[in-house]
Amino acid sequence: MEDKTEDKRIVVAIDGPAGAGKSTVARAVAERIGVPYLDTGALYRAIALKLHEEHIMPDDGERVSERLKDLRLEVGRGTISADGVDVTAEIRSALVDGIVSAYAARPEVRDALTGLQRAQAARGLVADGRDMGTVVFPDAELKIFLTADAEERARRRYKERLERGEEADYDDILKQVKERDRYDMTREIAPLRPAQGCIIIDSSDMSAEEAADAVASLAVEFERQRKR
Ligand code: DC
């Protein structure tokens, strides 16, 4: 008889606040276990950018859902486009950092993205975001909540900005990190919190590589046990 265990690949759900190192960890884990990586924050960012450009405010539920019916998001390997336009770089701007939480708090936006995210998981997936383990993939084989204290996360963002040649002010970034945490954790729908059955990892004193190694080892061990 056909062995289905080989076909059904692992889903790893990684949640946590901005700047905890989720994307570095998720990318490394996906590579180690050979499944695709999905950056769900990029999906929210692309929607925020597009709707903002079109002057559709996050609290205008009717226009938001109308527009989302025909907005075409395409995810490539490390790229994302909206209605055929590559927005990979633009979604990382300070502008999008500032507006994305308000769009991500809207039920119309979250509903539209839940189906899209689940549709990517058929061949296994490592997905990072805020509600991977709690809402989108509650049955994921491995759920991780990756966190770090706000000051350390702000330091990482500050360094990233400087490395990209952008201007950066540490105090502003720290304020924004804290504001975004509060917004993401207290919103009514899909608030950021550790999922049931998740493993909590605090990366404050770890390098991105160390955190990636820790999670990848768990995923590799899980795959090994499952295939036995
Ligand atoms: O991880 P990030 O900074 O790219 O996320 C951008 C925003 O999108 C952030 O405000 C939280 C939100 N988000 C979310 O609500 N749910 C997800 N699964 C991923 C991101």
Q: Does the beta carbon of 138 sit less than 6 angstroms from any atom of ligand 1? A: no
Question: Is the pLDDT reported for residue 8 higher than 70?
Answer: no
205: region left, alpha or beta (phi > 0 left; psi from -120 to 50 alpha) = alpha
Helix axes 40-53, 94-104, angle to 10 degrees: 100
Measured between alpha carbons, how far is residue 181 from residues 91, 170, 212 in Å? 19, 16, 22
Whether the CB-CB separation of 201 and 193 falls below 8 Å is answered with no
Better-scored residue on pLDDT, 118 or 225: 118
Residue nearest to ligand 1 atom 11, measured at CA: 101
How confident is the model at residue 7, as a pLDDT?
57
Mean pLDDT of the chain: 91
| d(C-alpha 195, C-alpha 121), whole Å | 18
Instruction: State percent of the chain over pLDDT 90.
Output: 73
pLDDT band for position 9 (50/70/90)?
A: confident
Predicted confidence (pLDDT) per residue in 132-181, tens digit? 999 999 999 999 999 999 999 999 989 988 998 888 999 999 998 998 89
Residue nearest to ligand 1 atom 10, measured at CA: 101
Predicted confidence (pLDDT) per residue in 24-52, tens digit? 999 999 998 899 999 999 999 999 999 99
Q: Region 86-110: what's the mean pLDDT? A: 94
Distance from residue 222's CA to the centre of ligand 1 (Å): 27
